[in-house]
Amino acid sequence: MYVQQLETFIRVAEEGSFGWAANTLFISTPAVVQQISLFEEHCGVTLFKRSNRGVQLTPTGQALYEDGKKIIALSNQALARAQQIEEDSKETLQIGTFPIFRARVLIDAMTMAREDGLPLKFEIPNLVAELSQMNNNFDLLGQKCDLLEAIYCDIAWQGQYQFYELFQTPLGVAVNHHHPLAGQTSVTIHDAETIGQDTIALSEVQPYIFITQKIFQDNHPNLVTIPLETPYTLPYGLIYSNTPSQPVRDLLAYIDDHREALIKKWVS
């Protein structure tokens, strides 16, 4: 916010040398000399006594040095206060994440949105207990969190929330690394039962097989996920309240505009 030459002047005054100041500023010595010369010319004063042993402040320079440090400090405080006001004015989105409802695309979306200056800030609350015991109850949406990433279960969850589809995820089966199927490139299964989180954990040490989705293979890195020979896929995307807030709508609109870039590493 202040003149850059003022900061350079203060650095030279503290270092007592154009060269040492240049090193701390990561610019060349001639660039520092030029800045100081232009600064003195602009102010119409002599700030340094120059000699072979370095530089020394003149009485005028000493006065400007003392006042200049105050100016820079006040400038930094003013900028920090303005930035805090700007940050406080942003709407906050609560992102729910848990192994089964893990944020993947949302993490990239948050990063891109920040870089593009979208007036939103994001928080990831600790919802391990709530998400691990949801049992298809989505009351926490719009209350404790605003968005979840998950597959879409239209029959069981219909009407309880809204869904934004990102892509279709193929099915697979997960087994431990020592299972006879672990080396297969694909498998076919004729029958299956619904499993829970405990079964997933047990599969790491037991010869269990369970159906999963390709997108979930990073949920259980101790298991091998093998493509399942089936034409069926499942919709994967974002779950949110039936009455989404404006920040949720703003982020969904942003994701819609950048959808291809956000999903390309998840779709093959």
Q: Are 262 and 112 in contact (CB under 8 A)?
A: yes
Q: What is the pLDDT of residue 101?
A: 76
Q: Are 174 and 221 in contact (CB under 8 A)?
A: no
The dihedral through the CA atoms of 39, 41, 44, 49 has a sign that is: positive
Q: What is the pLDDT of residue 108?
A: 92
Write the pLDDT tens digit of every residue in 204-253. 445 566 677 777 777 767 777 777 788 888 899 999 998 999 899 999 99
Q: What is the pLDDT of residue 191?
A: 46
**pTM more than 0.85:** no
For the residues of 223-234, what is the DSSP string, one character each? EEEEEBS-S-EE
- Most distant pair of Cα atoms in the chain: their distance: 91
Question: Helix H segments across 44-104?
Answer: 59-89
For the residues of 65-80, what is the DSSP string, one character each? HHHHHHHHHHHHHHHH
Q: What is the pLDDT of residue 102?
A: 83
Q: Tokens 């939103």 label which residue?
A: 120
Q: What is the pLDDT of residue 205?
A: 47
- Give pLDDT tens digits along the chain (268 positions): 567 889 999 999 999 999 999 999 999 999 999 999 999 999 999 999 998 888 999 999 999 999 999 999 888 888 888 777 666 656 788 888 877 778 889 999 999 998 998 888 888 887 777 666 655 557 788 788 899 888 887 776 777 889 999 999 888 777 676 777 667 667 666 444 444 445 545 444 455 666 777 777 777 677 777 777 888 888 999 999 989 998 999 999 999 999 999 998 888 6
Give SS3 for 249.
helix
Q: Tokens 């819609």 label which residue?
A: 256
